[in-house]
C-alpha cells in the first residue's frame, strides 16, 4: 500500500515538473536577451516579445531596454492567428506590442570567398540595406496589443509626446531611421515683399 502511494506521488511530481518546464518554454524571451545569446551564423526557434513597426509583411522589432539593438522582421506565417488584428493596430498607430514565434537568426557569416582582409572589416547584415545584424522570420503571431505611446526622458512617463497630425512634408521612414539612413536636403525659397512664396526649388 505504501509503495502504491509512493508511486502515485512520484508520478504526480514528475508530471508537475514536466508541466512547469512546458510553461517555461511557452514564456516569451526579450529581444535584448536574444541579441546577446544568438551568435554569428546561428539560428534557433524562439518566442519573443517586443514592439513591432512598419508593415504587414516586413518590418522592425524593437525593445525599449536596448533601443539600438533592433532586428529585421519577415512574416512567413504558418497560421493566420492575429494577422488581421496586427494590421488594424498598425493602421491605427504604426506600432504594436507583440509576441512572435519563429526563427531568430544571428549575424550572417561573411562570404568565405572574400579575401581575409575584407572579411575582417566587412560585416554582412539582414534586411533593408543589410543594416540589421539579426533577423526574425515570424511563423505565428501569438499576441498583439497597441504599443504604449513613446515618452521623452525629459517628461514624466505619464505625459505622452505630441505627434504630428498633418504636415506638408512626409514622415521620416521608420526603416530609414532605424537603419540610420540620412542625408542633406537643400531648399531655395523666394519670398515676395508681402511674404508670399513665389518659388521653391529642391
Q: What is the pLDDT of residue 200?
A: 53
Residue carrying the nine cell digits 521612414 = 173
pLDDT per position as a tens digit, 153-193: 544 444 445 554 554 555 566 666 666 677 777 777 777 77
Residue 118 is placed in which grid cell?
575584407
Domains along the chain with CATH numbers: 28-150+172-178 (2.40.50)
SS3 107: coil
Max CA distance (Å), the chain: 105
- Full-prediction pTM beyond 0.75? no
Q: What is the pLDDT of residue 148?
A: 85
Mean pLDDT value across residues 15-35: 63
Q: What is the pLDDT of residue 154?
A: 44
In which element (H, E) is residue 189 found? strand 188-191
Determine the Cα–Cα distance for residues 101 and 90; give it in Å rounded to an integer. 19
pLDDT per position as a tens digit, 54-76: 776 789 999 989 988 899 999 99
Strands 71-75 and 135-146, by their bridges, are: parallel
Q: What is the pLDDT of residue 186?
A: 75
Amino acid at each position: 500500500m505504501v509503495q502504491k502511494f509512493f508511486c502515485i506521488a512520484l508520478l504526480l511530481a514528475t508530471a508537475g515538473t514536466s508541466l512547469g518546464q512546458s510553461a517555461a518554454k511557452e514564456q516569451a524571451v526579450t529581444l535584448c536577451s536574444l541579441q546577446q545569446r544568438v551568435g554569428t551564423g546561428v539560428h534557433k526557434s524562439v518566442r519573443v516579445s517586443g514592439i513591432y513597426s512598419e508593415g504587414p509583411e516586413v518590418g522592425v522589432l524593437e525593445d525599449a531596454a536596448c533601443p539600438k539593438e533592433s532586428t529585421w522582421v519577415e512574416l512567413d506565417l504558418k497560421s493566420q492567428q492575429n494577422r488581421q488584428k496586427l494590421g488594424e493596430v498598425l493602421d491605427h498607430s504604426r506600432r504594436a506590442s507583440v509576441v512572435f514565434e519563429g526563427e531568430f537568426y544571428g549575424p550572417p557569416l561573411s562570404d568565405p570567398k572574400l579575401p581575409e582582409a575584407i572579411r575582417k572589416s566587412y560585416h554582412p547584415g539582414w534586411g533593408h540595406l543589410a543594416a540589421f545584424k539579426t533577423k526574425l522570420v515570424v511563423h505565428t503571431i501569438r499576441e498583439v496589443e497597441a504599443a504604449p505611446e513613446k515618452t521623452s526622458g525629459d517628461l514624466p512617463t505619464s505625459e505622452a509626446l505630441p505627434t504630428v497630425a498633418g504636415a506638408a512634408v512626409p514622415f521620416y521612414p521608420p526603416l530609414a531611421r532605424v537603419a540610420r539612413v540620412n542625408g542633406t536636403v537643400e531648399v531655395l525659397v523666394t519670398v515676395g515683399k508681402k511674404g508670399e512664396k513665389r518659388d521653391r526649388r529642391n
